[in-house]
Each structure stands twice: as structure tokens, then as C-alpha cells.
Structure 1
Amino acid sequence: MTPKEHTAHIKALRSENGPDFKIGMVSGNFNVVHPGHLRLLKFAADCCDYLVVVVNDDRHPGVLVPAQLRLENIVAISFVDYAFLLEEDLTATIDALRPDLVIKGKEHQNVPNPESDILSQYGGKLLFSSGDAIFSSIDLIQAESDPKKSLHNLKASPNFLQRHQISTENFSAILNKFCDLNVLVVGDLIVDEYITCDVLGLSREDPTVVVTPVLEQKFIGGAGIVASHAHGLGANTTYVTVCGDDREAKDSLEKFKEYGVQAFIGRDGSRPTTLKQRYRSSGKTLLRVSKLKQHAIDQTLQDEIFETFQERVDSLDLLVFSDFNYGVLPQSLVDRMIALGKEKNLLMVADSQSSSQIGDISRFHDMLLLKPTEIEARLAIQDHDVGLVGAAEKLANKCNPSHILLTMGAEGTLIQTLHPDKSEWMTDRLPAFCDAPKDPAGAGDAMLVTASMALAAGASIWEAAYIGSVASGCQVATVGNRPLSVDTIRHELGIW
């Protein structure tokens, strides 16, 4: 882009966001982006709404690395909003862009600064800081949530594959069919916010740990990530939900567009969009805060959801109930959808989570697949004494699914399926495939949708469970929810 184009971009930002929108600027050579640079840039980003970084071109004194490489390094930093190469005098650039703030390191505070005169002419300010000494490298934090850096090399279970005579050719044929599937996901939308903190120490007033935020990241969660996984795995995906009329809803719609999910979102002014905040430090969650309402949606919204389903049911291959028990799936709506699905011979699967909330997965009857945790299964059958296999059988007898994947965290997954002649239940187990999970959130969602799509593509329950376990392992190997891709699953299965 030319200097005029950079100026036009900044002017458009000001026009769109109003006079209170603060633009900050940092400039330099940036031969090597070291922690000192990161501290300064993080400080600058915290002082403004939009951070522009100007990278000196190759003619500037002290430059050691080609300009394009230096620019790429700066662009890769998440809290830099805009960066470009300086092709004219710095003061002329400042005069053209008119940033509200120019931020420089403390070492420049007691020396002449050529920016001062031009800033004073239009009321801009010059700030000096070397950033925060407690700063944790953002790049290291973000590596936890980058699937390309955090994966993979999950464990395998060759004995399981041998027992069920499964080969990589089986997996390849199944995954190839994912792109032919039409999937509808219905359930609660959740926005997951991860607030990574540095620990300052222990308060002297009371025994409280004091932290300061370093990085805030938001991810689509709940049934929203189930739909996003489905599209990432190749399916033509529709998502139906209800949320509030707020910023989280607006941001979520943008994310669904980015992910390629066709989202139909009913608005309920009586509830906020569910927001779950996790305060984390050193890879551990310190505190969770949930902002939500749990009452059932009204009849009008129930009718809207049902009508959306009814319009599409003839073209669907799979219906996924992803229930978090925050009111989007009242029993009357579930019963109507199941009745129509059975009439149309539609494959239906369900998960109903009971973590901080109370749910009952057995209310989803006659499903192709149920995916409860051990606790959720025991809550449904109200029996905390029977063994694992007995718990799965009692759940099956209560709500009549074809298959159950009962997840047990680090202990893996119990697979319960009815024998083809319906004479007895067959059982097997898969271990957890990820040895060093970074974040357990979303493991079950990844397993549910991947295993369900495999079944819809013609897989056996054993093949589906294995593929689902791989997907679950990929999910827990990163921090925060990001849509799975079929290429990731292929890689972990050794299929290329």
C-alpha cells in the first residue's frame, strides 16, 4: 500500500468509530522481535483502541534484516492491529496519520524526539514506557491455542484396531464422505473467554492471590463449536440457537461467517448470550465466572427453531442435539423435533452436559448415539453404585439409544453398543489419546460431532469411536475451542 492508502485507512477508521477512538503508533527497525519489543507493544496496545506499527525500510540506519521479513514478524503479533513499511520521513507520516499517541521506550525520554513538534501541532501525545516487567510473552501463551504448534502425535490403540479389524483404508473412506453430509446442530451458544494472567503475589490484606491480565481471547463454545467442528470436518452445516441482543451475539455471528456455518439465531431480550470466563495462569485455571440465564425459551422461539428444522429436515443426514441445559432445548421442543426426525428416518444424536448445571441426557430418547460423561450417565439413572458397564446398560434401557460413548476423562471412553441381533450389549474401551492435555474444555463436543458424522458416513461404532477419540485428543491438546479440520484428523490417523 502507498502512504496515501495508509492515510485513507486510518481516516476511514476514525470516521467509522468516532472521535473517542484512540489510535496509537510505535516505530522502529525491529531486526529481532525480542521480549523488550513485546513489552513495549503490549503497553502501547493497552493505551489505545488501535495500534499501528511503522517498520523502518532498509535505508534506515541500523537495519540488519530485510524489510519484508521484519514486517512479517510484526504483523504476526496479535495485539498489533496494523503495520506497514515507512517509505517517507517519520514526521511526515505522523502528520498524515495523526495518531493520538506515539509510544517510545523509556530510553528515549531524556533525549530529543523529532516527533514532539508535529504532535504538539495537532494535540497528539508522546508516551514513554518499556512495558511491564511482569509481562509474559504473548507468543508463548498463544502457542497453547495454536493447533499447528500444539499438536500432535497422539497415542494410538493398535490392539483396538486389531480387535475390530480396522485399517487406515477404512478411515480414509469414512472421512472422504464427510463432505457429502448435511448436518443441523441445535443447542446453546456459549462464548468462552480465556483471560491469561500474571501472578503479582499474595495480598497483604487477606490471603488472596493478586493477578494482572496479560491476554484476553474469546472462542465460540457450546453447541456453536459443535457446528463449527462439523463444517471444519467438511459437512454442509446449519446451526440453530437462541442468544441475547449483545456484543457477544454480534461477535459470534461474525465468527460463524468466518467459519462457514449457516447460523439461525433467535434473539431473546430476557437473557444475555452465555459468557464463560476462565482466569488462567501458568497453564492452570484459577477461577471461572459464568454470566448466564437458565430459564427456558418461550413458545414463540421454540416455534421458530422447530420451523427452521422442519424446513430443512428432508435434506438432512444428521441432527445433533448439543444441550448445555441453559434453556434453548425445553422438553416440549425436543419431543417435537425427535418425533419429526423419527418420522423422516433421520439420524439423531445427543449430548446433554451437566457440569455446573443439572441435566438429564435420558430425555433424548431413541438416538443413534448418546455421549454422556460418567457423572451425566449416573445422574440420568440415579445410581452411583452400579459399575460402569451396568451404568451404560441402565441408561440404554431407559432411553433406547443404538450406541453410547461414555467418556471418563483421563481414563478414556467406554463404548456400549447393541449387538446386531439385539440379543445383548457389547462393550469395549479406548484410552485417552492425549498424554498432556492443556485444556479439557470441548473434548466431548469434538468427540460427539466427529463420531456422529462418521456413523452418518457409514462407519461402524468402533470406527466412529476411534475417530471421535482422535478428535477429542486434538481438542484437549490446545487451549480454547477452534474448529477441527478433516486434514488434522487425517494427519493423526496417518492418512495422507
Structure 2
Amino acid sequence: MDSSLLSDIAEITEIRARAGADARVVFVAGNFNTVHPGHLRLLKFASECGDFLVVGVAGDHIPGALLPAQLRFDGITAISFVNYAFVMTSAPEDIIRVLRPTVVVKGDEHESKDNPEQAAVDEYGGKLMFSSGEMRFSSIDLLKRDILEPNLGSIIRPQDYLDRHAFSMRDLRAIMEKFKGFRVAVIGDLIVDEYVSCEALGMSQEDPTLVVTPILQERFIGGAGIVASHACTLGAEVSYFSVAGTDVAADFAREKLQEYKVTATLFEDDSRPTTLKQRFRAAGKTLLRVSHLRQHDIEPRLARRFIEKVKSSLAACDLVIFSDFNYGCLPQAVVDELIAACVERNIPFVADSQSSSQMGDVSRFKGAMLLTPTEREARLAVRDYNAGLVVLAEQLRQQSRADNIILTLGAEGILVHAKPEDNGDWLTDRLPAFNISPKDTAGAGDSLLTCTSIAMAVGADIWQSMYLGSIAAACQISRVGNIPLSSTDLMQELKDFSITDTLLASSGQRKM
């Protein structure tokens, strides 16, 4: 045996062990002096041709290798969809004869040339393919950046509101420090959000239908699960209670909640799947949402177990957050008994009850410290579709007996109807939307609810709390998908105003 093949055989043994006996191995070899978009497209294509992508990096002795092998190897191993890479000491065709990959991939430019790999794959029935990949790979990279990298540059911070209510960014930073170790219980529907990013191919010739192809799928924790996750990553100690099916979506949710350090109690209900919402997106817009769910109330025996488990945890709880999506996790009898338990133990509670594609009534959470409905949800609760916003908020306050109402108005910001300290007239103020160029508004309400309510529970007033909540929402919608809030990002946005900020604010142009 050629001595140069000995070290490659050791690598091949490791490849077989990692890939497993039934995996379809794909092999690509090259110099890879500088990993450029063309390489990435080729390797992405190769990864989709089988189960386990192996890349052989040419050794320093090969003509055309301009950089040290270790540097070129490091560039390849940094690519997430490459399962295994090694520096070759022998020719690719000799490695192929021993490795026996299902598919060998080379660039299109090699198709008209002599390819010694062809004879090697013919010996055992493998396949040699030529491709330069697809341009859509560049879109995948951009989509992942949209998810992982928030665009915080589009966040504004109104100074006039701080002056009006006599507090500073330093005060807000001190409030956030109190989040650490604060004990929160979150109760409500578990949802898994799946974002299917697509590339538009055009219009169907048979009927007026938009034709797309999926290029990236990402799953996130949603519903009350993301509220619990936000609270945890902001520093609180969080217990989360919900109901889930016995399915893959539930397994995913448990793993993510554990990753975010949420103490989760998920009661299994065989009569329903875990709610899964798919969003099909293209060019930064949602084309279609498909919800896989059942909306019936949990059955009485499960409800009793649910109530008892939550009540047993309240002794170690400083705040309860009801995050209701009206999918059956919180029947009225469950809500009433848990609210009575909070009142008996003097534990503040807040609530949000979403009514987008479903119907709900946020006023059913009687006596809450805070409710955060949209304008539509408030109108549904009080059945008034004509009143002005302040009158609407007052009607909801009276019907729900809540201490504070925040109406979320989308691009118009938020309006608060707040309980006065001296039992005088109720106070109203508003804040504009802080993010002037959002990427994905789906998680704004959950982040606003989480941050505002914890701030109030640790001692901040409603004015400080809603400002903090607005910054949290602005950070959340600066990226695509439900990723828990970063306390680092929030603290960055709570830095003190500079002279430049003040000048921009006076001209109405401030942008951080």
C-alpha cells in the first residue's frame, strides 16, 4: 500500500465511525485557497446530495495550493454543513476507492475534462456529479443573518417622555438589575413557530398562483413559551406551566426551554397536537400562515392536575404572567381559581389574551396589575368598535378591574391608561413605536408584556416600565423569529443620551 495513503485511511476509519453504516456519504476534494461564494454554493449542493458531507483539502505538496494546508482546512471546518474535513496526503481517486462514497461532487468546470475520479466510482457503483451549486445559497446566508443578527440601528429613544416623567436611563438600568433572581411563573399556551423562508420563482402559468421554493426552515419557541424564555434570559428565575401533545414539536419545545434554563412543566394531552404555526416568507414578507392545532378546552381531570401543580409553586413566586392564546390551555374555571390563589397570597398578576385568528376576551382576567391587549382585542372584549382610544381603555378597565391598561397599536406605538397613586383621575400617555424599521413584528407583544410586567413587579412605576417594555419590543422585532431577549442588547439601548442625541431629539431626527 502506498505509504501516503496510510494517514488517509485513518481519517476514513473515523469518517465511517461518525457517519454510521447506513449514511450516504458525499465527498468533495479541492485546494480551497480562499473559500468564496462559489465554494459555498458547491458545498451546499453537495450536502444536499446525501447524509454526511466529507471534504478533502489538498495537501501543501499539490500544485495550486497557495496557502498553508492548516489555514485552508480551518476555512472549510468553519462551514456548518460540512460534517467532516481532513487534509489529504494522497490523490482524491485513491481516497475514493477506500472511502467508497455514494456521491462524489466536482465543479461544472471539470465536466469536459479528464476525471480520474470517474474510474474510481465506477469500480464500486458510485456516482460522480458536476455542479456549481445554486445562487440561492447566498439568500440562505442573508436569511440566517436576519435571524441571528439584530438590527438595533433602527431603534429610537424618545427623550421628551423621560423628561415628562422625571426618570433617566440610569434609573432604568437600575431597575433591570433587580430582574436577577426575581421569581416568575408563566402560564399559558405552548406554541412552536416554524419559519419557512422561500425564494419566489414566479407565477404559475396554469392559475394565478405565486410559486415559491423553500430554502431555509427554522423553528422557535412561541406562545407563552417565549414569554417564559424572555423572562429567563432577562435574569428572572422562571417556572412555566402549559399543555403539549406527544409529538416532535413538544420534544423540540422541551429542548429549547431547557436550553433557555426555564423550569417547564408540560402536561401531556393526547387529544391535541402541540400547536405548530408555520409562516411561509419571501423577500422579508409573510405570504401565508398555516396553523396546526386544536382549540378545545383541556378536560376537567387534566385541568385539576394543572391547577394543583401551579398552586403548589406559588409559595416561591413573586409574579404570575398569564399568556393566553385561547387554544384551550386556560378555560375560565382554571383562570378563576388561579387568580383567586394569587389574590389570597398577595401575588401580582398580569395578562395578555391574544385574538388574531382566534377569539378571546382579555377582560376575563379580573383584577390584573396590567393588561396589554391590542386595540382590536380591547374592542372585542368590551364590544365597542367606535369609541376613542381613551374611552376604550377606560371601558376595558372598568370591565376587567385592572390597575393598568396598555393598548398596543402596532406602528402607532402604545397608549397607557394608568391607575393614579392618589386615587384621582386616571392618567393617560403614549409612546411611539421605538423601532422604525422592524424585520418581524410577530414577537412585539410578548416581549412588551414580559419586560413591562417584571419591571412593575420589582417596583418601577408604569411610566418607567412601559418605556423598558418598548425598548424590549424594539429589540425583539429587529430580527426574524422568536429568539429570547438579550439583557446585553437592552442594557446597550439604556445607555445615557449624548449631546448629539439631544440635538437630534430637538430636531425630531434622533436615531440610535
Tell me the amino acid that sits aligned with residue 176 of structure 1: E
Identity of aligned residues (%): 50
Greater mean alpha carbon deviation, residues 26-35 or residues 244-253? 26-35
**1:100 aligns to what?**
102
| Closer, same or farther: CA 84–358 of 1 in aligned 2, 3 Å | same
| Closer, same or farther: CA 92–334 of 1 in aligned 2, 3 Å | farther
How far has the Cα of 1:163 moved from its partner?
0.6
Q: Does residue 1:225 correspond to 2:231, yes or no?
A: no
Please give the alpha-carbon distance, in whole angstroms, between the structure 2 residues aligned to 1:457 and 1:228.
18
Contact 2:56 2:88 in 1 (8 A): no
How far has the Cα of 1:404 moved from its partner?
1.6
**1:352 aligns to what?**
353
Please give the alpha-carbon distance, in whole angstroms, between the structure 1 residues aligned to 2:299 and 2:42.
50
| Closer, same or farther: CA 200–403 of 1 in aligned 2, 3 Å | same
| Closer, same or farther: CA 87–44 of 1 in aligned 2, 3 Å | closer
**1:263 aligns to what?**
264
How far has the Cα of 1:107 moved from its partner?
1.9
**1:331 aligns to what?**
332
**2:502 aligns to what?**
none
Greater mean alpha carbon deviation, residues 128-137 or residues 312-321? 128-137
How far has the Cα of 1:56 moved from its partner?
4.2
**1:398 aligns to what?**
399
Correspondence list, 1:361-376, <5 A: 361-376=362-377
**1:296 aligns to what?**
297
Contact 1:136 1:198 in 2 (8 A): no
Show CA shifts across 1:208-240 (max 9, x none): 111111111111111111111111111112222
**2:323 aligns to what?**
322
Q: Does residue 1:181 correspond to 2:187, yes or no?
A: no
Tell me the amino acid that sits aligned with residue 110 of structure 2: H
Please give the alpha-carbon distance, in whole angstroms, between the structure 1 residues aligned to 2:247 and 2:168.
48
Query: Where does structure 1 lack aligned partners over 5 or more consecutive residues?
Result: none
**1:26 aligns to what?**
28
Show CA shifts across 1:91-120 (max 9, x none): 565566554333222222233434445544
Contact 1:71 1:83 in 2 (8 A): no
Please give the alpha-carbon distance, in whole angstroms, between the structure 2 residues aligned to 1:238 and 1:358.
27
Contact 2:76 2:82 in 1 (8 A): no
Please give the alpha-carbon distance, in whole angstroms, between the structure 2 residues aligned to 1:158 and 1:227.
30
Contact 1:7 1:96 in 2 (8 A): no
Q: Does residue 1:476 correspond to 2:477, yes or no?
A: yes
Please give the alpha-carbon distance, in whole angstroms, between the structure 2 residues aligned to 1:114 and 1:214.
33
Tell me the amino acid that sits aligned with residue 248 of structure 1: A
| Closer, same or farther: CA 70–490 of 1 in aligned 2, 3 Å | farther
Query: Where does structure 2 lack aligned partners over 5 or more consecutive residues?
Result: 1-7, 498-512
Correspondence list, 1:159-170, <5 A: 159-170=160-171
Contact 2:154 2:437 in 1 (8 A): no
**1:35 aligns to what?**
37
Tell me the amino acid that sits aligned with residue 167 of structure 2: I
Please give the alpha-carbon distance, in whole angstroms, between the structure 2 residues aligned to 1:44 and 1:26.
8
Please give the alpha-carbon distance, in whole angstroms, between the structure 2 residues aligned to 1:368 and 1:92.
72
Larger radius of gyration: 2
Please give the alpha-carbon distance, in whole angstroms, between the structure 1 residues aligned to 2:102 and 2:36.
26
Please give the alpha-carbon distance, in whole angstroms, between the structure 2 residues aligned to 1:495 and 1:76.
38
Please give the alpha-carbon distance, in whole angstroms, between the structure 2 residues aligned to 1:448 and 1:103.
51
**1:464 aligns to what?**
465
Q: Does residue 1:62 correspond to 2:97, yes or no?
A: no
| Closer, same or farther: CA 127–158 of 1 in aligned 2, 3 Å | same
Tell me the amino acid that sits aligned with residue 26 of structure 1: V
What is the TM-score with the length of structure 1 in the denominator?
0.91
RMSD (CA atoms)? 2.5
Please give the alpha-carbon distance, in whole angstroms, between the structure 2 residues aligned to 1:51 and 1:371.
49
Contact 1:283 1:438 in 2 (8 A): yes
Show CA shifts across 1:427-465 (max 9, x none): 110110111111111110011111111112211111110
| Closer, same or farther: CA 31–346 of 1 in aligned 2, 3 Å | farther
Please give the alpha-carbon distance, in whole angstroms, between the structure 1 residues aligned to 2:71 and 2:321.
45
**2:20 aligns to what?**
14
Count how many residue pairs are aligned between Structure 1 and Structure 2: 490
Contact 1:77 1:139 in 2 (8 A): no
**1:198 aligns to what?**
199
Please give the alpha-carbon distance, in whole angstroms, between the structure 2 residues aligned to 1:67 and 1:405.
60
**2:309 aligns to what?**
308
Tell me the amino acid that sits aligned with residue 30 of structure 2: G
